[in-house]
Chains A and B, each alone.
Chain A
Amino acid sequence: MNIKNKIYALLAAVVFLACDRAADVDFAKDEATGSLDVSNFIAVGNSLTSGFSNGGLNAYSQSASFPKLIADQFAQYGGTGFSQQEVSAAGSGDIMYIEEFAEGSPVIKNTALNASFFAEKVASDVSNFGIPGMRSIDVTSPHSVYGKANPYFGRLNLDASKSYMDWVAEKEATVFSLWLGSGDVLGFAATGGMFGEAGNQRIPGAYEDGLSPLNAFALSYNAVFDMLAAKNNGQAKGVVGTVPSITSAPYFTFVNTQLAAMAGQIPAFNAQTAAFVNFVYQLAGYILPEGGLFKEGVNFPAIVKGHEYNTIDAENGVFDRKPAGELSVELFNAAEGDLALLTFAGIQSRILTEGLGYIKQTAETAELQALAVEALPKIAQAEALGAQAQALKDEALRLGEEAALLKAEAVELAQQAAALLAEGKTEEAAAKQAQAELKGAQALQKATSAAEKGAQALEKKIQLDALVSQIAALLYTPENIAKALNVAHPVSSQYVLDSEEVALVSERIGQMNAVITAKVDQNPNTVLFNSSELLSKLNTDGIQMNGIGLTGAYVSGGVFSLDGIHLTPRGYGLVANKLITLLNGKFNASIATADLSKLDPVLFP
């Protein structure tokens, strides 16, 4: 080999080496997917599946829906053809964002509602079947009906007769996600259970903002599950989510922490001020519990219970949300598990500025205070009179009863005397007769005392009645009632999910999850995603992924969007990664998860 050839050989070696600069990525795609066929993925569910975030749906939030993030990962292993409902940059509008921080607190604003979004018709051939607001019990309702109730479904270009079920049935799939059911309790929970279990009755029997009946849920849910499991000739693999314990989401938990932090700023009641506030609430017509609502110490806010809605005209869409009928008030009690909803955050500042939850400090309050100064001694006097009258009445009744008893004994003795006389035992009869007469005299004496007491009681009662009408005349004037209504400021129950309602929601979620779990247990092609477990981990230890720390906290946690229920892109990434991990474990696959660090948390201005 001459020198020239040597140079060529060297150059050739260099060129050969030069071809290979990258790190070897050495594995086969089928090794990564195990027994999973990721070629055709669809997602079935509600807002959480659609990519709903910050209170709305737009191109930004949808681009990080968890199905999209899963599909992006699947695409690296042969997944194709994933598509989503057409959504513009503005999207639904009404999307929450942080405008600024004022004294360290975020000022949250909403974008304008985009009516044209709901007016336009978009193609229905998609892979992401997430419909915001959809409940399990809605899946069989035809487009002509449910499309009107839910504009996210309504905007799809779909035959009038086709239901959500029919729509999904048309699409083939090799792998699916199913996360349905939170909508069946969310309406009730998010409105503080103000309408009761049966919902708002805007459409009678529709359970809007109520709790879906369990049997109806199970029927619909099982139908959807079976329809999905039958895809790909019964070989479709799926990951199936349970209903999360939604009351652990910031929408339900954040304001409680804010209220706790606020407690020191609220003046504590002493016996006198508590009595005054009770006085005003009563004057305003609220029904207070026995012994008054407000007691010594800090106690707020008061929550109005027992809303009724009297103007319902579903046909014309008229729906009057004004309360009617008698209203009782309760105190908010976080320690017992009452939850102030995120909606309350918007009016929370009024606690301090307007006395929301206890009393408003105005000129009228001062006038009412003057009134109370005048009325309260009279009321105390009336109460004393009433007590005296009652005592006298009780005494009269007791004496009367004793008199009756003595009288009965006297009659008995007299009868015994008569019997003895008939037997000819005159002496014994005379003795009995004497006893009878003595008892009779005693009875008469008691009866006389009773009558005296009764008369005294009546006298007191007359005095009391006079005093009560005097008080009533003093207090219950239209002016005074108007003043009381103006200053007594209870919080409407729509802002609070009280502990009983929380228990109701939890119980229903448990029942629904039993239905879901049973289906997954019966089908070896599916794997269960325990969403509550994930939420609980976020709320306790937090989760570390891709160098990013995640918690369930509002704004700062990275997972929940500003609406406190739906997730940020990073939160949806966490869900996507969890689902991929579950599929990996179940189907012996080894598919990579999404990089959370490149997905957005709540954005700061």
Chain B
Amino acid sequence: MKKIILFLLMAGGAFSHSFASGYQVLLQSNRQLAMGNLGVALRPSASSVFWNPAALGFMDRSAIEAGFNLIDAEHNYWASDTRDVNGNPVLDPYTSKTSSPFGAPVHLYGVWAPEGSQFRFGIGFYTPFGSKVEWGDSWRHSDLLKELTLKAYYFQPTAAYRINDRLSVGAGLVVAFGSMNLQRTISRFGGKPDGGYYGYELDGKSDLAYGYNVGVFFKATEKLDVALNYRSKVELDVKNGDVSFDVPASLSSLFAASEFDGGLPMPSSLSIGIAFHPNNRLTLSAEGVVVGWSAYEALTLTFDKPVGSVNDEEKKISSSPRNYENTVVLKAGGEYVLNDWLQLRAGMYYDQTPVQDGYMTAETPGQDRLNYTCGIGFSPFENWQVDLSFLYVSGMEKKQSLEQLPKSPESEGGQPLVDTYPTGTFRSTGYVGGLTVSYKF
């Protein structure tokens, strides 16, 4: 009977793990967000600590800035690629969507502009990556993902140096840490006696990791600014994270692992931007970003004990290919100063998915996205500035068909890896509102 149990576990294919795709969160300040989420070449504010430290070189006063965003994101799923027993496509009305918990990332910046110095010093705290997806355990693909929470916190001391009236450089040291929580069901054991499904949960915090953020800012003409920014890749490695299995008690000896190690790369990004100031009321800016997603090749988890086996050492390691590709983000936006206390802003950007066809997972299903932004800024008091923004993220529908899925090696049958990658159509949308308050002194 031992053999029977072991076979049971192997029957459904590899015991696979995966999490987030395209887990970038571009919510680092609401003035820039409202303008198409660009800021590399914009004239400086405290949030330039993030956007481009070099811009700080032209900051004439010290400032602090604090804000947050409220995210209402939703992933929708339609089982558009259901097959019948013979493998023929059928018309399946099954749909599902994630519940949309509000996420509320915050950002904080401070810049010190010592008078008479060409140096500027800044500090920033922001969350450039993260994800929160709750499909629930009644979702058809809850074995692939029930729930995911991914957080990355960046803390960045920064310095900038104004070389001359037109050129400035800046650099920041990124100190990052993160956490992840991943939950999946194991439906091959059936439902639990008291309802719901068996499953497992990974929960871990990363070690501190380091990176950098460097830039150049160049005032080409009176009306045109050009800037370059590079943020390095940061590897967030979880050591001794907790893993807990909820399986039938009679099988617990096969799921005795309690700790895991794993890592996730926070990709680099290289941005080039220009900002055009035709008059002192209007700012127009455009930006192109290359995000180094190709760093995310596979999600590899190493457990302290074999998973799904008592003593098969090979089952300690689980690796699931992601094969992300570098992406390009194109942004455009503008600001119009209506009067001495109100500014109007709008923009849009096109965000490519890093996910190759067939490698789309349920974590943050990869689709190309069109993003529309707008917002206002106003100064209620002298030296105070309030920025409000609104972002609508419209993911384009993306279908993943059975034929697109990566296949198991020929030696293992050459079958599509349906236990790692879902088939069907995904669409993601999001509403994000935000508020940032800044004060100059």
Question: A residues touching B (Cβ–Cβ < 8 Å)?
Answer: 3, 7, 10, 13-14, 17-18, 21-25, 27, 31-32, 76-77, 98, 100-101, 103-106, 542-551, 553-556, 558, 569-570, 574, 577-578, 580-581, 584-585, 590-593, 595, 597-605
A577 engages B191 (CB within 8 Å): no
Q: Which of B1, B76, B93, B344 contacts A592 (CB under 8 A)?
A: B93
Binds A, one of B41-49, B81-89, B286-294: B81-89
Q: Is the interface of A mostly helix, strand, loop or mixed?
A: mixed
Q: When the two chains form the complex, which single residue of B94, B190, B346, B425 contacts A600, counting CB atoms closer than 8 Å?
A: B190
Q: Give bound CA distance, A22 to B94, whole Å.
A: 12
Given contacts A585-B86, A592-B82, A605-B248, 12 further A-B contacts (CB under 8 A): A21-B74, A23-B78, A23-B427, A544-B415, A556-B4, A570-B190, A578-B85, A581-B88, A592-B94, A600-B190, A603-B189, A603-B191
Who on chain B is nearest to A577 by CB?
Answer: B85
Q: Are B250 and A98 in contact (CB under 8 A)?
A: yes
Partner of A547, one of B189, B191, B419, B431: B419
Report the bound CA distance from A562 to B86 in whole Å: 28
How many angstroms between the C-alpha atoms of A511 and B151 in the bound complex?
A: 66
Secondary structure type dominating chain B contacts: mixed
Q: Across the interface, which residues of A come within 8 angstroms of B374, CB to CB?
A: 10, 14
B372 at the interface (CB under 8 A from A): yes
Which residues of chain A are near B84, meaning CB under 8 Å?
577, 580-581, 584, 592-593
Are the CB atoms of B419 and A21 closer together than 8 Å? no
Residues in chain A near residue B426, CB distance under 8 A = 23
| B388 shortest CB reach to chain A, Å | 12
Contact status B250-A605, CB under 8 Å: yes
Q: For the side of the interface on B, what is the size category?
A: 35 or more
Set of chain B residues within 8 Å of A98, measured between Cβ atoms: 250
Q: Which of B8-16, B235-243, B323-331 contacts A (4 or more CB under 8 A)?
A: B8-16
B residues within 8 Å of A by Cβ?
Answer: 1-2, 4-5, 7-8, 10-13, 74, 76-80, 82, 84-86, 88-95, 97, 138, 140, 143, 187-191, 193, 248-251, 338, 344, 346, 372, 374, 390, 392, 394, 397, 415, 418-419, 425-427, 429, 431
Complex interface: chain B residues within 8 A of A597 (CB): 140, 143, 187-188
A558-B11 CB under 8 A given contacts A22-B427, A578-B85: yes
Question: Can you list 21 pairs linking A and B with CB atoms under 8 Å apart?
Answer: A14-B372, A14-B374, A17-B372, A23-B80, A25-B95, A31-B91, A106-B1, A545-B85, A547-B418, A548-B187, A549-B188, A558-B8, A581-B86, A584-B88, A590-B90, A592-B92, A593-B85, A597-B188, A598-B138, A598-B140, A598-B191
Residue of B nearest to A98 (CB): B250
Q: Are B5 and A556 in contact (CB under 8 A)?
A: yes
Give CA–CA (A31, B433) in the complex, Å: 42
Identify which of A542, A549, A569 gathers the most chain B CB atoms within 10 Å of its CB.
A549
Give A574 to B11 CA distance when docked, in angstroms. Answer: 16
* A10→B93 CA distance, assembly (Å): 33
Q: Establish whether residues B91 and A590, one from each chain, have CB atoms under 8 Å apart when the complex forms.
A: yes
CB-CB under 8 A from A593, the residues of chain B are: 82, 84-85, 90
Contacting residues, chain B, for A13 (C-beta < 8 A):
372
Are the C-beta atoms of A547 and B1 separated by less than 8 Å?
no
* CA of A213 to CA of B429, assembled, Å: 65
Within the complex, the shortest CB–CB distance from B49 to chain A, in Å, comes to: 30
- How far, in whole Å, are A289 and B426 apart by their CA atoms in the complex? 71
CA distance A549 to B14 in the complex (A): 11
A366 to chain B, nearest CB (A): 35
A33 to chain B, nearest CB (A): 9
In angstroms, Cα B189 to Cα A105, docked, is 17
Q: Which residues of B contact A547 (CB under 8 A)?
A: 12-13, 143, 418-419
Query: Which of A14, A104, A558, A601 makes the CB contact (< 8 A) with B2?
Result: A104
For A258, the closest partner residue in chain B by CB is B1
Chain B residues within an 8 Å CB radius of A22: 76, 78, 95, 97, 427
Closest residue of chain B to A604 (Cβ to Cβ) is: B248
A553 to B6, CA, bound (A): 13
Separation in Å of the A493 CB from the closest CB of chain B? 27
Q: How far is the CA of A558 from the CA of B189 in the complex (A)?
A: 9
Return A242 CB to nearest CB of chain B, in Å: 16
Known contacts A23-B397, A547-B418, A581-B84: A3-B338 contact under CB 8 Å: yes
- A106-B1, A578-B85 are contacts. A584–B189 as well, Cβ < 8 Å? no
Return chain A residues, CB-CB under 8 Å to B390.
14
- For B89, list chain A residues within 8 Å (CB): 590
Chain A, Cβ-Cβ closest to B89: A590
Indicate which residue in A105, A585, A598 contacts B1 across the interface (CB closer than 8 Å): A105
Chain B residues with CB below 8 A from A106, complex form:
1
